């Protein structure tokens, strides 16, 4: 029986991530990058998947937290004889001085685990059993200068520990009996240590933890948000930072692959890649929180991966390399037996024309944050980028596509896509008016095209039969992505037709505060959960329409649905409240951040309105 998806917390070093369960077991770890083959994947197969587990004699209870303003995890275990605290961290070594661009921290491909007895005494063991290459490579442990080394071809994992690790079959064990004040340490290192960079004693492990804590606290100190939801917003920002790959500046959609959106079902995709849509919206969230450097780093990623200056920008990228073909790992059972586990992603080849709007909105927000005085390399060829992206938006304005939900039932004339093409053209014009080299007649042509696109989707996207905007022209199916068009400004939030659409979405796609993406055939098997980000989009729509009291209450209930350390997967099962899909999901956390910012802004404008609608005179005066 697999552990609940909500059982997992995340640690990382902006190169790779580890998922750690409430019981202290590391059940997912990919090294040296987010998209590398997993060497711990008990998360996806309880028998074949390796882990770094922790067992106590007489365990009674556990609880955990992140150290404030960090990505360092602390788990406290209560046993029949005492209490112990486990600290988990992946070291980050910031360069001095911090470079103008490039990684702000160097990872070590290392996980440090410190276990300290705080009261009485505790006894138990760590067990390390890697299963390299998604459990497709066997390996034999060997003793090596007081450590244990696992090797399988070019895959290598070293275990340093005190007490000393011992080989037990295909695993290494570290047995401990600790009295109050005593500490055991375990260090997992991928590959070979650089000369002088190893950790071979407790003092070295503690020093790395202290340096990493300093890095995260400094990073958190840059957050400009000081509103009432700072804890949830900062935790989301810290999560998004972990999903970055700092050597390239790319941002992965989630830390995991193969976790199911439907149980049973075949919606078990690999999200360890950079989707333009997800990453661009994440950049917007970063900028609004004061993290302009992270936004600039993503633009560096685009500059280095897309040398066509927007002419051939793709839907998605690997953080360094090309995306491998989608592959089913049929030897793995899947989470709770829900297979097939998929790696790679076939959506790479789809047409999704909304991405032009995503990219230009991110660029617009970034440029305004720096008063149109970006670093020289970001500013390089901006007029050409605008030309290329707007040309693509105009060229594809009448085309059907697979859309934001990556449907595998064929292209449609997607309402959301058309609205994002309007965003692309409108934001390009906004940028063009503030930089040199963009002729006024070109800006006027973009604005004219934007007006035509908007008139079309407001007309053809409306269904008199449904009394709502639907997901595609001529369709009778509702689509929660229409709410996203509203929060991007592509529809007036006070338009009576949008209000009617929101009511229809709440009635037909909603279950309490949760919202399904749609209810229609999409080419996949199984009934998925409610999409977490959709619920936060609804908060944004309510806030923008001045329904601030309802938006505030809804938002507060939603953030309480995160797991015990404030993390969200892609979806939530309305029947059980359990999380579903890959975790933690960047799209969910950036939606939380943006909903919090919109809510605070709306309360400043409208006040806290409890009667279900903003005062007409206040809205008219806005």
pTM of the model: 0.95
User: Tokens at residue 536, please?
Assistant: 């936060």
Average pLDDT over residues 93-109: 86
Let me know: does 514 contact 579? Beta carbons within 8 Å. Answer: no
Q: What is the pLDDT of residue 615?
A: 43
From 189, 220, 251, the end of a domain falls on: 220
Residue 192 has pLDDT above 50, yes or no: yes
Dihedral sign computed on CA atoms, order 465, 471, 472, 475: negative
CATH number at residue 63: 2.70.98
Percent of the chain with pLDDT over 90: 82
Average pLDDT over residues 459-480: 97
Mark whether 238 and 172 lie in a shared domain: no
Which segments within 292-408 are labelled E, that is strand?
Answer: 316-317, 327-329, 341-343
Mark whether 174 and 236 lie in a shared domain: no
- The span from the CA of 263 to the CA of 284, in Å, is 33
CB atoms within 10 A of CB 170: 14
pLDDT band at 620 (very low <50, low <70, confident <90, very high): very low
Percent of the chain with pLDDT over 70: 97
Residue 461 has pLDDT above 90, yes or no: yes
- The span from the CA of 345 to the CA of 220, in Å, is 33
pLDDT band at 96 (very low <50, low <70, confident <90, very high): confident
Let me know: does 112 contact 208? Beta carbons within 8 Å. Answer: yes
pLDDT digits (tens, 9 = 90+) for 355-368: 999 999 999 999 99
Q: What is the pLDDT of residue 194?
A: 60
Between the alpha carbon of residue 525 and those of residues 142, 366, 576, the distances in Å are 44, 39, 20
Alpha helices in 36-184 (DSSP H): 132-135
- The span from the CA of 100 to the CA of 104, in Å, is 9
Mark whether 207 and 344 lie in a shared domain: no
Q: What is the pLDDT of residue 622?
A: 32
From 220, 245, 280, the end of a domain falls on: 220
pLDDT band at 195 (very low <50, low <70, confident <90, very high): low
Mark whether 178 and 231 lie in a shared domain: no
Mark whether 209 and 309 lie in a shared domain: no
Instruction: For residue 175, give the nearest of 137, 211, 108, 128 by alpha carbon.
Output: 128
CATH number at residue 408: 1.50.10.10
pLDDT digits (tens, 9 = 90+) for 486-510: 999 999 999 999 999 999 999 999 9
- The span from the CA of 252 to the CA of 274, in Å, is 5
Q: What is the pLDDT of residue 618?
A: 38
Mark whether 199 and 325 lie in a shared domain: no
Let me know: does 10 contact 584? Beta carbons within 8 Å. Answer: yes
From 220, 245, 260, the end of a domain falls on: 220
Residue 375 has pLDDT above 80, yes or no: no
pLDDT digits (tens, 9 = 90+) for 404-438: 998 888 899 999 999 999 999 999 999 999 998 89
Residue 621 has pLDDT above 50, yes or no: no
Give the chain's domain count. Answer: 2
Q: Considering the chain, what is the average pLDDT of its residues?
A: 93
Mark whether 162 and 234 lie in a shared domain: no
pLDDT band at 611 (very low <50, low <70, confident <90, very high): low
Domain that holds residue 388: 222-621
Mark whether 432 and 489 lie in a shared domain: yes
pLDDT digits (tens, 9 = 90+) for 326-349: 999 999 999 999 999 999 998 888
């Amino acid at each position: 029986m697999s552990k609940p998806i909500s059982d997992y917390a995340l640690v990382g070093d902006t190169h790779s991530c580890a998922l750690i369960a409430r019981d202290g077991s590391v059940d997912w770890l990919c090294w040296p990058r987010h998209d590398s083959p997993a060497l711990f994947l008990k998360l996806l197969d309880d028998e074949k998947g390796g882990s770094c587990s922790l067992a106590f004699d007489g365990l009674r209870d556990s609880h955990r937290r992140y150290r404030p303003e960090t990505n360092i995890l602390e788990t406290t275990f209560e046993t029949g004889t005492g209490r112990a605290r486990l600290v988990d961290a992946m070291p980050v070594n910031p360069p001095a001085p911090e470079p103008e661009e490039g990684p702000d921290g160097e990872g070590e491909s290392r996980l440090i685990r410190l276990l300290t007895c705080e009261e009485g005494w505790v006894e138990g063991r760590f067990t390390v059993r890697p299963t390299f290459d998604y459990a497709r490579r066997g390996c034999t442990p060997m003793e090596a200068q007081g450590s244990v080394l696992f090797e399988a071809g070019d895959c290598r994992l070293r275990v340093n520990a005190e007490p000393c690790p011992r080989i037990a079959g295909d695993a290494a064990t570290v047995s401990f009996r600790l009295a109050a004040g005593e500490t055991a340490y375990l260090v997992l290192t991928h590959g070979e240590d650089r000369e002088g960079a190893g950790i071979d004693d407790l003092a070295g492990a503690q020093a790395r933890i202290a340096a990493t804590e300093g890095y995260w606290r400094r990073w958190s100190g840059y957050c400009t948000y000081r509103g009432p939801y700072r804890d949830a917003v900062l935790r989301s920002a810290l999560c998004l930072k972990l999903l970055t790959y700092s050597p390239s500046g790319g941002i992965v959609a989630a830390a995991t692959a193969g976790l199911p959106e439907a149980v049973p079902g075949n919606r078990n995709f690999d999200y360890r890649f950079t989707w333009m849509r997800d990453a661009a919206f994440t950049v917007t969230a970063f900028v609004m929180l004061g993290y302009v450097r992270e936004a600039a780093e993503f633009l560096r990623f685009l500059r280095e991966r897309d040398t066509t200056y927007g002419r051939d920008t793709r839907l998605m990228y690997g953080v360094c390399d090309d995306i491998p073909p989608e592959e089913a790992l049929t030897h793995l059972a899947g989470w709770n037996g829900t297979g097939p586990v998929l790696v790679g992603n076939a959506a790479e080849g789809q047409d999704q024309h909304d991405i032009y709007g995503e990219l230009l909105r991110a660029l617009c927000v970034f440029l305004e944050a720096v008063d149109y005085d970006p670093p020289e390399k970001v500013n390089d060829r901006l007029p050409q980028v605008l030309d290329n992206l707007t040309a693509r938006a105009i060229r594809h304005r009448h085309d059907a596509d697979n859309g934001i939900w990556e449907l595998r039932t064929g292209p449609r004339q997607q309402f959301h896509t058309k609205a994002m093409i309007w965003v692309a053209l409108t934001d390009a014009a906004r940028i063009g008016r503030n930089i040199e080299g963009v002729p006024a007649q070109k800006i006027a042509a973009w604005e004219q095209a934007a007006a035509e696109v908007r008139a079309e989707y407001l007309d053809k996207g409306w269904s008199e039969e449904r009394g709502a905007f639907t997901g595609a022209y001529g369709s009778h199916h509702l689509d929660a992505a229409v709410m996203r068009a509203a929060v991007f400004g592509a529809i007036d939030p006070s338009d009576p037709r949008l209000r009617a659409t929101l009511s229809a979405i709440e009635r037909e796609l909603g279950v309490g505060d949760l919202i399904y993406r749609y209810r229609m055939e999409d080419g996949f098997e199984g009934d998925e959960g409610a999409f977490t980000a959709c619920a936060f989009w609804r908060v944004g729509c309510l806030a923008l329409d001045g329904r601030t009291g309802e938006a505030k209450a809804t938002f507060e209930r939603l953030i309480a649905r995160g797991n015990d350390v404030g993390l969200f997967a892609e979806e939530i099962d309305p029947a059980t409240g359990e999380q579903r899909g890959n975790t933690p999901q960047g799209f969910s956390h950036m939606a939380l951040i943006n909903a919090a910012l919109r809510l605070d802004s709306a309360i400043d404008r409208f006040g806290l309105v409890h009667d279900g609608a903003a005062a007409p005179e206040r809205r008219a005066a806005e």
